Structure formats: structure tokens, C-alpha cells
Amino acid sequence: MTKEKSEDEILLIKLCKGLMEICDRINRGEPAYLVNDYQPFPQPLYEAFEKLSLRWILRDGVMRHSSILNLVEAARNSVQAVEADFSELVDFPDQPLLEEMTRASEECEEYASEYSLSLEIDNNQSYIPRLMNEIKKFNLPHSTYTIFRRFIAENPFPSELDLALLRSQNPEIERVKEFLGEAHQDAPPQSDAMPLCKTCGGYLDCAAREIEGCCEPLDRRVEKVPIPDTVICLIRPSLIELRLNKKFEEMGLEVELWPNLDQADLKITFPNQEVWAIDAKDWGSATKLARELNQDTIPNIGQSKSFFVVPDYRFNKLKYQAIFASKYTGKIPLISESEIIKRVKRNLK
Ligand SMILES: [Zn+2]
């Protein structure tokens, strides 16, 4: 699933991850950089900056930006402003990584999520790849992952009682319970000016990201909230998957979410035992989606058909479709959420 990344890609991912962390600090009402700390900036941003600085010195003999704040400012304007070669990675140099100096863009968030899902494997940091490794290592049933992920996606603010119920109803969770603790953190200050989203548990910037079914302000006090990695890598991407799961179950199909440790998002089995595999992607950037899917495939889980599915509200935008079509070279068809439902219905008849 994880493919080799070029040095430039890693640099960009670290930059985005660092920017996301800075934005999160600001959202929480904390200073963007910790003046008296030995490490004032988030580690990934520091690493990205170090790499860029070295390049500038090697190339120009001088530092181009003397402080990391200039880098952040440069990222706001465009990646191109930082380094021309680097902008080839981002096909829209006019698409900034930060928007209005207030929040990370969708593009930025998508790159940052790659940091949590793959780059951190080496550093053993993010709990998501570690959870998968633990399940493999101890030969736990693959359903452990599904139960874990579904609980987190459906319970952004779990109470002690929710957690106790989960564990008593699913004894297989016991072995990986420490990861459950890592998915959440103590609630940050909540205010009317900066409310949390009821559905995804992030600060309410999902509205600007147009995430369907998201973006209603939370109107109660909570003790635990999902960490940013949980919001961007687990909860937000799961919304379309849970929607489709519900729909297919209502149609009487046998559905499995994230089968074989996430080899697909959904595996549906028709009454005649025919199997379809679906990967659903709710991504704001059609460029990044095409680039990713060009290298992606759905492994064999017994399916006769595979589909990539995008929510209607993204797919129906002509610009989104046109950008995707011009960059996608893969074989698996990309269709809209309502189209997959239509095709499943037709196949049921
Ligand atoms: Zn939300």
C-alpha cells in the first residue's frame, strides 16, 4: 500500500504536516511557536525547513529565508514562491497551502495526512499504522481494525461509558486498547468563536472544506476530543464510507467495511455471491486524487468489479471532473456516489 516517495514529496508532506500543526496550535489559542522551547516549531516543519535551507545554501550560497515565519508566509502565497522546482509537485501554484492566513487548505491537509499514514511508520509515531502492525503481529482477527475504526469514526467524543461498552462488547479490542487512548486528547478550550464540529471533532473548518454531512457546531462541553490525525486520517475520510455502508445494508447486501486491514473501503457481496470492491475518496484536490489513484489499485479480495467512488458534491463539479480526467491514467473507473448506488441497484435485479 505504501509506495516509495521522492525526496521532494517527503519534503512537501512534512511542510504540510508542520503547517497543519501550527494551524492547530493557533486554533487552540496557543502560540504558533514556543519561544522558550528548545524546539519552537513542530518537528515536521523543522525538518522540512532544514532541508529547504540546505538546498538554498547549496544552490545559491545563501539562505533565502532567514526565519521559518517567512517560510510560512511564502507557503501562504504559493509553493512556487519558496522554490520553483518544488512547485512541480503541486500542479496549482495558485492553490496556497494556507488560506487567508487562518487555516490549512484542503491540499495541505491531504498531504499532511500522508505523513500520519505512512511517513511516521519509520518513526513509530502515529497510532494508525502501529495499530495495523499490532493486529498483524498478534494475528488478531481483521475485524478488530474495523471495530476500532468504526467506533472512532462514529464517536468523536467518546465518554468513559462508551469506551467501557465498546470493550465489553468486543473482547478482541482488549489487545489494542492502548491505541484507543491515543486517538483522543483532552478537550481544548471551546468557545463560540472557535467551535468544534459535532461530526468530525475538528475545529469547524470542515464547512470551508465542503465535507458533506459535517460542519455543525458542537453545542455541549466534552472532555475528550479526537487528535488532529484522527480527524483528518480517520474520521473525515470515513464519512462517505459509513454512508455507503448504511445504504448498501438497507438494500439487503452483505457489506464489510475496510476488509483485510483496509485493502479496500467496502466489500459488498450480492445474493448470488458476486463481490464488488470499492474505495471511496472524499478529497478536495482532483489533482492529488488522480496522482494518488494512478499508483493505486484495489488488491484482490475476491471481487469481480472494482470502483473508485467520489461524493456527488465533488464529482458534479465540472472543473473537478475535467482536472481528474486529464490526469488519471488508471484502469479502475471513478464514479460518483449516486452512480455506484444506481449500479448496485441494477445488479440486484
Ligand atoms: Zn466536521
251 in the same domain as 322: yes
Give the end of a domain, one of 180, 213, 232.
232
Is residue 1 in a domain? no
Q: How far is CA 74 from CA 51, 65, 87, 112, 281, in A?
A: 16, 9, 12, 18, 29
291 in the same domain as 274: yes
* Residue 206 pLDDT: 74
160 in the same domain as 138: yes
Q: How much is the average pLDDT of 216-245?
A: 91
Q: Which is more confident, 169 or 195?
A: 169
Is residue 300 in a domain? yes
Is the Cα dihedral 154, 160, 162, 167 positive or negative? Answer: positive
State the total domains in the chain.
Answer: 3
Annotate 234-249 with b (16+ C-beta within 10 A) or e (fewer). Answer: bbbbbbbbbbbbebbe
Distance 55 CA to ligand 1 centre (A): 38
Domain residue limits at 38: 7-114
Distance 170 CA to ligand 1 centre (A): 27
* Residue 50 pLDDT: 76
Is residue 119 in a domain? no
Is residue 35 in a domain? yes
Is residue 240 in a domain? yes
174 in the same domain as 76: no
Distance 82 CA to ligand 1 centre (A): 31
Give the end of a domain, one of 87, 114, 141.
114
Is residue 251 in a domain? yes
Give the end of a domain, one of 204, 232, 260.
232
- Exposed, middle or buried: residue 171 (CB in 10 Å: 0-12, 13-18, 19+)? exposed
Contact (CB, 8 A) for 181 and 263: no
Is residue 296 in a domain? yes
Distance 202 CA to ligand 1 centre (A): 6
Is residue 2 in a domain? no
Q: Which is more confident, 337 or 74?
A: 337
Distance 212 CA to ligand 1 centre (A): 9
166 in the same domain as 76: no
The CA distance from 198 to 190, in Å, is 12
Residue 100 phi/psi, 5-degree rounding, is 50, 30
pTM reported for the whole predicted model: 0.83
* Residue 270 pLDDT: 96
